[in-house]
C-alpha cells in the first residue's frame, strides 16, 4: 500500500472529533496549559496559509503538551464584526450576518481539514448576541468608572469608507482598510481612557515573557517622555505659553516659540497686521493629517504672529510663530525652538532665517584612559564655567589652543586637531611629543599618533597658518591665546562673512562653533553634551543641566517637571453598522444613561440599507423605531447611541470567554478564569503589537481592577510568526494572482505535508516565501516514513546507534519546540529518517513506534494510520510523550572551548557529558595548552559542561 493522504486524513479527523479528546477539562488534577492563537478575522477569501502557519505550529505545541500530561486549552473562535462584511453587504445587499455565517462554515471546514486539534466545543463568535452582551457589559463597567467618555475631537476620517478611524488604523496617512488618504473631521466620539493605564502597560511588561522587540514597540508606542513644562510669558499681556521640552538644557538657545495652528492662544497673540496671513495658514494646516505634519523630513512651514514672549532664564525677547510641525494634542501644543540642537527646529530656522545659537557642545566621551586629555578636558570645562560667553571648548596645551575636532564633525570623538602659527610649529611639536604622541608625517602640517590613548591611532593633526589672525584671540587668565584649527581655517572667510551677517553677535567663538556644528553637512547637534552660552549653567552636562534648570525654573514659578505620553485615549466609536451597539441612551433630561445590565445585550437591529450616511452618523440612526426609546431613568423620550464599537472590541477579551463560553451570568466563571489564566503561550502577528495586544492588555488590567481577571497580565508568553509571502516574494494577493490556497495543497498533497512544510519553510518569526519545491520535499519525506514503517519487520531490535539517534531527536524536539524552532525539528525528523534508511537492518519496531509518537504532533494523520498498521489499537494521540534517556546520548560530540585566563586558546571535540576532571586532563594533554601553562601554577578551573573549560594560571 502506498502513502495516500486523501484516503486517511478525513477518517482520522472524524475520529478525533467523535472521540472528543481535544476538549479541555474544566476541572482537572492535571497541570493546565493554555495555548492560544489569534482567532481568525473572517474574510470571504477563506483561510490564508499565513494564518495557518501560526495555527499549525501551535497545534503541534498543544498536541505535545497533551501527550505530556497537561490539561490543554487550545480554543478557536471568530472575530466577525467589522468593515469587510459591511462593505460586502453594501456591494451585494447580502446581510453581514449571512456572509458571516457562510464564512464561518468555510473556515471551520478548512481548519478541520488541517487536522487542527482545537476544542471546538468552546467556539466563540464576537457577533453572537450571547457574546457581545459581555462586550457591552465591559463597556458599561468602563463607563461607570469614567473610563469611557464622549468628546468632540478631530478624528481621522476616511472619505471612502465614510467612517472615523483610530490612529492605529491610519497607516502612513491612509486608511488601513481601503488605502484612501484620510482627512480630519471634528466628531463627537466615544473614548476609552487607556492613558490612565499607560504606566502599568509599560511597567508590567517586566512580568511577562515577550520578545524584546514587542516590548520595546509597545513602550515606544506609549511613548513616556520625562520633560519640563516651561512657561514663556508673552511680552504684552499676561498669557503664558506653556511648552513641553525634554531638553531644558537647551533653553539658552531658544530663538523662537512655535504654536500649533490649533492653539487657542494664536487668536490673542496675532497682531492685526499679521492676521490675514496667520488665518490663511491655519486654514491650510487643518487639511493635513497629523502624520503628514509630524514627518521629520517634511518641509517646515510657519508664520510669524507679530508677538514676542520672554525667555524665563535670560529675559530675552523671543518671536512667537505658528507652525504645523507642532502637534496640537501633545504637551501644550507649543514648542520652544532650539535650532542648534533640534533637527526640525533647525530646518525651520534655516527657512525663516531665525537665529541659530549653539548652547551644547559634545562631550569627549570615553577618553578616560588618557590622563592628559582628561586633564585638558577638565580645563575646558573650567574655562566654560569661567567665561560666561565661552562658546567653544578650547583645549590649552602650552600656548596652543586646541579645538576638539571630531572627524567630520563629531563622529570620531577621539581625534583632536589644532592649528598654530608657522613660527610656533616647532614649539607645538615639542609639546605634543611630550604628551606621548609620535610624529607620523613630516612637513609643517604634522600628523601625530598617540600610543597612550586607546593604544593606537589617535591622530592629532597640527596645521600651520600664515595669515595674521591678529585680533582673533581668546583671553584666558589674563593671557591671550590664538585660536585656530585647519578645518576652521579653510572656511575662515565664510565664518567671517557669517560673523558680519550677524551684527552685534560676532564673537569669534560663536562663529567658529557654528561653523563646526553646521560643518558642510549643515545639521543640528542633537546629542547630549556640555553647556556653553548658558550663563551660570555653563560647563554642566546636559543631564545635570536638565535637572538644575528645571529646579531653577520651578523656583521662579516658570516651570515644572512633567511626564508626557504619546499614547492617546482610544477612539472607541465607529459610524458603521456591523459592530456592537454602544449600550448608552441619550436623554435630554438625564444626559448619558447606561442601558441597565438586565437589558443587555442591546441587539443590532436588522437593516435594509448599510450605506454609511456620510454625515458622520451610523446607518443605525435611520432606524427610528430602534433609536427612539424610553429613558431608563426618567421614562421620558430618549434616543439610543447609534455609533458602534470598533472591531477590536470583541477581541479584547475573547480569550477569557473561551474558559467558560456558555455562561450567561457572567463573562466567565471566576473559578474557571482562575484556573486557566493567564494564557501560557499566545502566538499572533507582529502587526498586532500596538493594536490588539496593547488594547487587550489594557482591558484585562481594567477587569483585574474590578475583580474579574485573576492576574495582572493576560498573556504569560507571546511569540510572533513571520508572514508567508508568495513564491514570487511578493505579498500574496488576488490581484497578483499568486495566492496559495491551503485547500489546493491539502487536496493534492494532504494536510500533513502542509503542516510539515509550514513549519519547515524557515525560522518561525521570519517572513518566508512559499516554495512549491520545499513543500514537495516534505511530501517525499512523508512517503519515505510511510515506506520505512509499513515495510518494517516486527521483532527486530534496534542497534545502539539507532537508539542513540532517536534519543537525541527527542531531546532536540523538547528544546526546539520551546524555542519556536519548528523548522529545525522537521529537519531533525528528516535527518533521522535518512539515518534509518542507511541503517536499514538496525531499525527495530521499538524505535519506529517511538518515532511515530514524536512525529504525531506535527503530522498526526499519517502517525495515527501507521500506528494502526503496526497493529496498535488505541489512538496514538493518547500515547505518552517519551522522555529521552541521557545515557543514550552520551556519545554525543561537542566542541569544547579551551581558555587560558579567559582567552580562547584551543578547541577540541569531546563527548558531551565529559566531566570537569576529564576535560581538564584532556586540555592539559594538548601541546598548545601545555605551552601556555608551562611552569605556571593552576589557580582555578572554570568548567561549563559541554561548552568550555577555562584554566586560570
Candidates 17, 30, 371, 589: give the one binding Zn ion (CB under 5 A). 589
Q: How many residues bind Zn ion (CB under 5 A)?
A: 7
839 strand-pairing partners: none
Candidates 7, 634, 666, 953: give the one binding Zn ion (CB under 5 A). 634
With binding defined as CB under 5 A, does residue 596 bind Zn ion? no
Task: Match 524536539 to its residue by C-alpha cell.
Answer: 813
With binding defined as CB under 6 A, does residue 564 bind ligand ANZ? yes
Q: Which of 345, 356, 367 is nearest to 452 (CA)?
A: 367
Question: Which range of residues in 232-240, 245-253, 797-805, 940-948 is near ligand ANZ by CB under 6 A?
Answer: 245-253
Q: How many residues bind ligand ANZ (CB under 6 A)?
A: 18
For the record, the C-alpha cell of 915 comes out as: 566531566
> What's the closest the beta carbon of residue 342 comes to ligand ANZ, in angstroms?
4
CA distances from 692 to 79, 173, 193, 648, 837 (A): 12, 20, 16, 7, 48
> What's the closest the beta carbon of residue 225 comes to ligand ANZ, in angstroms?
3
- Residue 589 binding result from ligand ANZ, Zn ion, none, given CB thresholds of 5 to 8 Å by partner type: Zn ion
Which CB atom, from 201 or from 595, has the smaller least distance to Zn ion? Answer: 595
Which CB atom, from 315 or from 598, has the smaller least distance to Zn ion? Answer: 598
Question: Which range of residues in 586-594, 789-797, 860-868, 935-943 is near Zn ion by CB under 5 A?
Answer: 586-594
- Residue 333 binding result from ligand ANZ, Zn ion, none, given CB thresholds of 5 to 8 Å by partner type: ligand ANZ
Q: What is the 3-state secondary structure (H, E, C) of 618-642?
A: CHHHHCHHHHEEECCCCCCEEEECC
72 strand-pairing partners: 33
With binding defined as CB under 6 A, does residue 244 bind ligand ANZ? yes
Site for ligand ANZ in 260-319 (CB under 6 A): 260
Which CB atom, from 535 or from 636, has the smaller least distance to Zn ion? Answer: 636
For the record, the C-alpha cell of 871 comes out as: 497493529
For the record, the C-alpha cell of 15 comes out as: 475520529
Site for ligand ANZ in 315-354 (CB under 6 A): 326-327, 330-331, 333, 335-336, 338, 341-342
Q: Rounded distance, CA 425 to CA 400, Å?
A: 10
- Residue 546 binding result from ligand ANZ, Zn ion, none, given CB thresholds of 5 to 8 Å by partner type: none
Kindly provide the b/e burial profile for residues 382-410, where b requires at least 16 CB atoms within 10 angstroms of the residue's own CB: ebbeebeebbbbbbbbbebbbbbbbeebb
CB 175 within 8 A of CB 165: yes
> What's the closest the beta carbon of residue 245 comes to ligand ANZ, in angstroms?
3
CB 825 within 8 A of CB 762: no
CA distances from 391 to 346, 490, 597, 779 (A): 19, 20, 68, 73
Which CB atom, from 285 or from 638, has the smaller least distance to ligand ANZ? Answer: 285
Q: Which of 909, 919, 908 is nearest to 945 (CA)?
A: 919
Which CB atom, from 355 or from 743, has the smaller least distance to ligand ANZ? Answer: 355
With binding defined as CB under 5 A, does residue 630 bind Zn ion? no
Q: Rounded distance, CA 426 to CA 159, Å?
A: 75
Q: Rounded distance, CA 776 to CA 754, Å?
A: 9
For the record, the C-alpha cell of 635 comes out as: 421614562
Candidates 294, 590, 726, 827: give the one binding Zn ion (CB under 5 A). 590
- Residue 331 binding result from ligand ANZ, Zn ion, none, given CB thresholds of 5 to 8 Å by partner type: ligand ANZ
Question: Which range of residues in 137-145, 201-209, 625-633, 731-739 is near Zn ion by CB under 5 A?
Answer: 625-633
Pairing of β 681-685 and β 317-323: unpaired
> What's the closest the beta carbon of residue 521 comes to ligand ANZ, in angstroms?
17
- Residue 634 binding result from ligand ANZ, Zn ion, none, given CB thresholds of 5 to 8 Å by partner type: Zn ion
Q: Rounded distance, CA 953 to CA 939, Å?
A: 5
CA distances from 612 to 89, 245, 574 (A): 12, 42, 10
Which CB atom, from 479 or from 634, has the smaller least distance to Zn ion? Answer: 634
Q: Rounded distance, CA 706 to CA 673, Å?
A: 14
CB 258 within 8 A of CB 346: no
> What's the closest the beta carbon of residue 752 comes to ligand ANZ, in angstroms?
51
Which CB atom, from 486 or from 632, has the smaller least distance to Zn ion? Answer: 632
> What's the closest the beta carbon of residue 216 comes to ligand ANZ, in angstroms?
15
With binding defined as CB under 5 A, does residue 631 bind Zn ion? yes
Which CB atom, from 327 or from 952, has the smaller least distance to ligand ANZ? Answer: 327
The string of DSSP codes covering 550-613 is HHHHHHHTSEEEEEEES---EE--BSSSSSPBP-EEEETTTEEEEPPGGG---PPPP-S-----
Q: Which of 717, 580, 600, 752 is nearest to 666 (CA)?
A: 600
- Residue 633 binding result from Zn ion, ligand ANZ, none, given CB thresholds of 5 to 8 Å by partner type: Zn ion
Candidates 100, 245, 450, 950: give the one binding ligand ANZ (CB under 6 A). 245
Which CB atom, from 328 or from 414, has the smaller least distance to ligand ANZ? Answer: 328
Candidates 68, 217, 225, 491: give the one binding ligand ANZ (CB under 6 A). 225
Count of positions (residues) in the chain: 953
> What's the closest the beta carbon of residue 325 comes to ligand ANZ, in angstroms?
6
Question: Which range of residues in 364-372, 636-644, 731-739, 902-910 is near Zn ion by CB under 5 A?
Answer: 636-644
With binding defined as CB under 6 A, does residue 250 bind ligand ANZ? yes
Footprint of ligand ANZ (CB under 6 A): 225, 244-247, 250, 260, 326-327, 330-331, 333, 335-336, 338, 341-342, 564
Footprint of Zn ion (CB under 5 A): 587, 589-590, 631, 633-634, 636
Amino acid at each position: 500500500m502506498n502513502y495516500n493522504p486523501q484516503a486517511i486524513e478525513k477518517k482520522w479527523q472524524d475520529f478525533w472529533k467523535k472521540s472528543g479528546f481535544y476538549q479541555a477539562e474544566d476541572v482537572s488534577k492535571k497541570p493546565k496549559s493554555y495555548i492560544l492563537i489569534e482567532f481568525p478575522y473572517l474574510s470571504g477569501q477563506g483561510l490564508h496559509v499565513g494564518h495557518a502557519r501560526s495555527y499549525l505550529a501551535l497545534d503541534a505545541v498543544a498536541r505535545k503538551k497533551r501527550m505530556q500530561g497537561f490539561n490543554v486549552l487550545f480554543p478557536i473562535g471568530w472575530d466577525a464584526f467589522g468593515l469587510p462584511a459591511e462593505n460586502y453587504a453594501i456591494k451585494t445587499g447580502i446581510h453581514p450576518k449571512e456572509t458571516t455565517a457562510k464564512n464561518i462554515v468555510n473556515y471551520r471546514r478548512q481548519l478541520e481539514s488541517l487536522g487542527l486539534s482545537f476544542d471546538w466545543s468552546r467556539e466563540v463568535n464576537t457577533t453572537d448576541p450571547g457574546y457581545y452582551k459581555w462586550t457591552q457589559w465591559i463597556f458599561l463597567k468602563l463607563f461607570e468608572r469614567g473610563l469611557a467618555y464622549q468628546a468632540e475631537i478631530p478624528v481621522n476620517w476616511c472619505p471612502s469608507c465614510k467612517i472615523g478611524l483610530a490612529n492605529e488604523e491610519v497607516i502612513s496617512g491612509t486608511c488601513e482598510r481601503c488605502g484612501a488618504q484620510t482627512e480630519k473631521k471634528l466628531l463627537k466620539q466615544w473614548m476609552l481612557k487607556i492613558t490612565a493605564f499607560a504606566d502599568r502597560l509599560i511597567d508590567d511588561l517586566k512580568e511577562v515573557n515577550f520578545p524584546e522587540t514587542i516590548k520595546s514597540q509597545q513602550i515606544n508606542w506609549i511613548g513616556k517622555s520625562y520633560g519640563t513644562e516651561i512657561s514663556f510669558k508673552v511680552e504684552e499681556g499676561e498669557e503664558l505659553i506653556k511648552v513641553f521640552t525634554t531638553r531644558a538644557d537647551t533653553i539658552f538657545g531658544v530663538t523662537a516659540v512655535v504654536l500649533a495652528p490649533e492653539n487657542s492662544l494664536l487668536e490673542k497673540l496675532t497682531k492685526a497686521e499679521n492676521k490675514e496671513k496667520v488665518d490663511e495658514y491655519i486654514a491650510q494646516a487643518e487639511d493635513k493629517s497629523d502624520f503628514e505634519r509630524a514627518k521629520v523630513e517634511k518641509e517646515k512651514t510657519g508664520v510669524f504672529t507679530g508677538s514676542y514672549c520672554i525667555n524665563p532664564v535670560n529675559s530675552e525677547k523671543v518671536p512667537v510663530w505658528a507652525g504645523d510641525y507642532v502637534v496640537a494634542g501633545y504637551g501644550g501644543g507649543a514648542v520652544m525652538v532650539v535650532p542648534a540642537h533640534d533637527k526640525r527646529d533647525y530646518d525651520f530656522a534655516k527657512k525663516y532665517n531665525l537665529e541659530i545659537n549653539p548652547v551644547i557642545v559634545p562631550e569627549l566621551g570615553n577618553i578616560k584612559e588618557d590622563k592628559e586629555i582628561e586633564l585638558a578636558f577638565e580645563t575646558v570645562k573650567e574655562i566654560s564655567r569661567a567665561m560666561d560667553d565661552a562658546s567653544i571648548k578650547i583645549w590649552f596645551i602650552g600656548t596652543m589652543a586646541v579645538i576638539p575636532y571630531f572627524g567630520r564633525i563629531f563622529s570620531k570623538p577621539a581625534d583632536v586637531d589644532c592649528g598654530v602659527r608657522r613660527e610656533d610649529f616647532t614649539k607645538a611639536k615639542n609639546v605634543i611629543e611630550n604628551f606621548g604622541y609620535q610624529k607620523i608625517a613630516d612637513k609643517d602640517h604634522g600628523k601625530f599618533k598617540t600610543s597612550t590613548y586607546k593604544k593606537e591611532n589617535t591622530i592629532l593633526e597640527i596645521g600651520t597658518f600664515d595669515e595674521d589672525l591678529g585680533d582673533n584671540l581668546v583671553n584666558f587668565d589674563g593671557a591671550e591665546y590664538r585660536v585656530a584649527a585647519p578645518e576652521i581655517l579653510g572656511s575662515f572667510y565664510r565664518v567671517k562673512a557669517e560673523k558680519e551677517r550677524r551684527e552685534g553677535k560676532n564673537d569669534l567663538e560663536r562663529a567658529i562653533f557654528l561653523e563646526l556644528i553646521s560643518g558642510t553637512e549643515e545639521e543640528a547637534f542633537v546629542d547630549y553634551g556640555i553647556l556653553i552660552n548658558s550663563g551660570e549653567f555653563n560647563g554642566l552636562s546636559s543631564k545635570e543641566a536638565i535637572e538644575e534648570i528645571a529646579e531653577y525654573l520651578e523656583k521662579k514659578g516658570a516651570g515644572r517637571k512633567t511626564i508626557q505620553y504619546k499614547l492617546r485615549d482610544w477612539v472607541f466609536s465607529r459610524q458603521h453598522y456591523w459592530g456592537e451597539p454602544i449600550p448608552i441612551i441619550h436623554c435630554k433630561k438625564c444626559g448619558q444613561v447606561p442601558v441597565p445590565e438586565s437589558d443587555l445585550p442591546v441587539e443590532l437591529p436588522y437593516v435594509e440599507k448599510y450605506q454609511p450616511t456620510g454625515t458622520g452618523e451610523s446607518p443605525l440612526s435611520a432606524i427610528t423605531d430602534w433609536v427612539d426609546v424610553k429613558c431608563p431613568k426618567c421614562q421620558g423620550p430618549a434616543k439610543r447611541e447609534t455609533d458602534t464599537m470598533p472591531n477590536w472590541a470583541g477581541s479584547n477579551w475573547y480569550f477569557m470567554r473561551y474558559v467558560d463560553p456558555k455562561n450567561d451570568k457572567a463573562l466567565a466563571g471566576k473559578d474557571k478564569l482562575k484556573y486557566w489564566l493567564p494564557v501560557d503561550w499566545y502566538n499572533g502577528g507582529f502587526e498586532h503589537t500596538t493594536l490588539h495586544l496593547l488594547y487587550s492588555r489594557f482591558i484585562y488590567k481594567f477587569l483585574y481592577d474590578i475583580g474579574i481577571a485573576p492576574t495582572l497580565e493576560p498573556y504569560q508568553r507571546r511569540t510572533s510568526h513571520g508572514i508567508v509571502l508568495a513564491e514570487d516574494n511578493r505579498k500574496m494577493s488576488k490581484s497578483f494572482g499568486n495566492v496559495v490556497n491551503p485547500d489546493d495543497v491539502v487536496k493534492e498533497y494532504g494536510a500533513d505535508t502542509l503542516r510539515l512544510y509550514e513549519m519547515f519553510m524557515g525560522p518561525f518569526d521570519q517572513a518566508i516565501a512559499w516554495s512549491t519545491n520545499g513543500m514537495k520535499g516534505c511530501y517525499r519525506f512523508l512517503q519515505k516514513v510511510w515506506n520505512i514503517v509499513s515495510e518494517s519487520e516486527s521483532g527486530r531490535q534496534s542497534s545502539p546507534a539507532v537508539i542513540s539517534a532517536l534519543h537525541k531527536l527527542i531531546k532536540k524536539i523538547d528544546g526546539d519546540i520551546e524555542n519556536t524552532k519548528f523548522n529545525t525539528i522537521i529537519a531533525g525528523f528528516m535527518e533521522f529518517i535518512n539515518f534509518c534508511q542507511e541503517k536499514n537492518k538496525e531499525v527495530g519496531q521499538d524505535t519506529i513506534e517511538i518515532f511515530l509518537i514524536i512525529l504525531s504532533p506535527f503530522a498526526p494523520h499519517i502517525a495515527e494510520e501507521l500506528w494502526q498498521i503496526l497493529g496498535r489499537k488505541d489512538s496514538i494521540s493518547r500515547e505518552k510523550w517519551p522522555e529521552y534517556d541521557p545515557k543514550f546520548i552520551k556519545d554525543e560530540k561537542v566542541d569544547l572551548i579551551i581558555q587560558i585566563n579567559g582567552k580562547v586558546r584551543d578547541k577540541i571535540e569531546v563527548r558531551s557529558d565529559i566531566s570537569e576532571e576529564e576535560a581538564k586532563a584532556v586540555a592539559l594533554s594538548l601541546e598548545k595548552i601545555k605551552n601556555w601553562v608551562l611552569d605556571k601554577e593552576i589557580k582555578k578551573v572554570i568548567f561549563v559542561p559541554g561548552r568550555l573549560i577555562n584554566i586560570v594560571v
